[in-house]
Amino acid sequence: MLAVKESLWHTVELLNEDEACQMLALAQCLRKRIAVPSTLTRLADDPTFRVPSGRRVTFRAVEPIRGRGIAASQLLAEDRR
């Protein structure tokens, strides 16, 4: 691992200013992506909480219940007018 960092160090020394700026931006992006917030780390150890995975969760479509009469949301809107 030390050899890799040393090789990177020598390569960075050969870059011009614009290339060095691009490398710095890349390194900052990599570091931000790896960082896990401390709150999630603490909650992951607590059995009370379930930390969601990085995957997106899809929910199944649900048909709303049809009732008789005027919808409660409509009654509230009319009551506030």
- Identify how many contiguous H helices and E strands the chain contains and give both numbers: 4, 0
4-48 pLDDT, tens digit each: 888 888 888 898 999 888 888 888 887 776 666 777 777 777 888
Q: Which of 5-9, 18-22, 63-67, 73-77 has the lowest mean pLDDT?
A: 63-67
Instruction: Using alpha carbons only, give the angle 35, 37, 39 rounded to the nearest 5 degrees.
Output: 160
